A and B are shown apart, each in its own frame.
Chain A
């Protein structure tokens, strides 16, 4: 600003700034990269620090600010040995303070919307996508994205611990449903825009719940694995060769359909090998799959940095 109005000190300041930025950029990686990248807390703000609702922080900060304004005006008068602030614009200042504190109080009373509320607000637009099965992607399409280097595919497994330990896809991240919302806010919102999230449960019921949570938390590229882990095993377990992976195939047995509730594992496993089963990371190239491609990657829009 001072530069725009051609102030000399501003010019010098800008020159120094430029040199500083250049020096910093040239050296930071070589000299201090460990420190520079340390203590990453993700999307971490005052409500998380103090573990109180956002509205309370808003009200608290406003009250603190108003008190501070009073204090600094008092200090200013003391230092300058005047009584300027004691009499000038008293009414206006008080009115402003009351209005702002009142608004902040209302924000605190109203509270921030819960995941359920946010889902309700967006459900008119989003529920049809679920009903028309636009977001349930075939196992073969997901496999294609896992192998696609241009897309960062993040697999989120929301099943219970025991099922996850028995069998899960390679690189799948285990996220219990009740931790999903927090993890989304702290981590997933910061993911690069070429990230594709796929949520899965044994069938689709819990994965659909997880999908709603992530949509409500503003994740754009999130899909559901069609048929869940059962669907994945239906598609691929018969195609992984017994010869190359001795034992692995016969250790997995399909159970009768219909003997289980909808979101239960339909396969039994002889050992809890997790993602060490060959079908957790199938290499299948001789087989052509037919499916309807559904993934439409959205690039983040608006909302620039601070």
Chain B
């Protein structure tokens, strides 16, 4: 099993394995589950999101950041074992200064807009 995973590392080519339809259905199920979870946790309310900036309720920050670090540990863990080919995971090219300016605009927009 280990050898098989290392010889043919992920990401899983779902589309090639099961065809377009199954691929779309899986993507949709994951999306719905993600949306449902966020909504149930109250992350769809602008009050809860704006609370991050008033420092009264940091739940969103903690949940999102936890999601990021768990994913990071799993991705690089599986890459270390050879189960995932990190080279085939798309990484957005960095445009440093436009990125910084864009991030600031988006952040301010989040605060003003409430989401």
Minimum CB distance partner of A44 in chain B: B94
Is B30 among interface residues, defined by CB-CB distance under 8 A? no
Interface string of A194-218 (1 = CB under 8 A from B): 0000000000000000000000011
| Residue B108 CB within 8 A of the other chain | no
B13 proximity list for chain A (CB < 8 A):
301-302
A143: min CB distance to chain B, Å: 29
What residues on B are CB-neighbors of A10 within 8 Å?
A: 44, 46, 115
Q: Complex formed: what's the CA distance from A121 to B82 in Å?
A: 8
B66 & A13 in contact (Cβ 8 Å cutoff): no
Min C-beta distance of A121 to chain B, whole Å: 4
CA of A38 to CA of B97, assembled, Å: 7
A72 (CB) vs chain B CBs: closest residue: B58
Q: Is B38 an interface residue (CB 8 A)?
A: yes
Chain B interface main SS type: helix
Task: Compute the total of residue contacts between A and B using a CB distance below 8 Å.
Answer: 152
- B96, CB-defined interface residue at 8 Å: yes
Task: Please report whether the interface of chain A is mostly helix, strand, loop or mixed according to DSSP.
Answer: helix
Residue ID in chain A nearest B65 by CB atoms: A65
Contacts of A106 in B (CB 8 A): 77
A39, A103, A111, A303: which has the most chain B beta carbons within 10 Å? A303
Q: Is B91 a contact of A43 with CB atoms below 8 Å?
A: yes
Give the size of the chain B interface in residues (CB under 8 angstroms). Answer: 56
The interface residues of chain A lying within 8 Å CB-to-CB of B95 are 36-41
B55 & A42 in contact (Cβ 8 Å cutoff)? no
Please tell me which one of the listed residues B69, B85, B98 contacts residue A218 in the complex, with CB atoms under 8 A apart: B85
Binds B, one of A1-9, A248-256, A272-280, A286-294: A1-9
How many residues does chain A have at the interface if contact means C-beta atoms less than 8 Å apart?
61
Chain A residues, Cβ within 8 Å of B15: 301-302
Cβ contacts under 8 Å, B96 to chain A = 39, 41
**CB atoms of B87 and A113 under 8 A apart:** no
CB distance from A62 to the nearest CB of B (A): 5
**Interface contact A5-B44, CB-CB below 8 Å:** yes
Kindly state the separation between the CA atoms of A41 and B92 in the bound complex, as whole angstroms. Answer: 10
Q: Kindly report which residue of chain B lies nearest to residue A75, judged by CB atoms.
A: B55
- B11 CB to closest chain A CB (Å) equals 5
In the complex the two chains form, is A112's CB within 8 Å of B79's CB? yes
Verify if A271 is at the interface (C-beta below 8 Å from B). Answer: no
For the complex, what is the distance from the CA of A97 to the CA of B38, rounded to whole Å?
22
Q: Give chain B's interface residues, CB within 8 Å of chain A.
A: 6-9, 11-16, 35, 38-39, 43-46, 54-58, 61-62, 65-66, 68-70, 72-73, 76-77, 79-82, 85-98, 101, 109, 113-115
Name 18 extra pairs, CB < 8 A, besides A37-B95, A107-B73. A1-B44, A2-B45, A2-B115, A4-B39, A36-B95, A45-B91, A61-B69, A61-B72, A65-B68, A107-B80, A110-B77, A112-B86, A125-B8, A190-B93, A301-B15, A302-B11, A303-B89, A305-B92
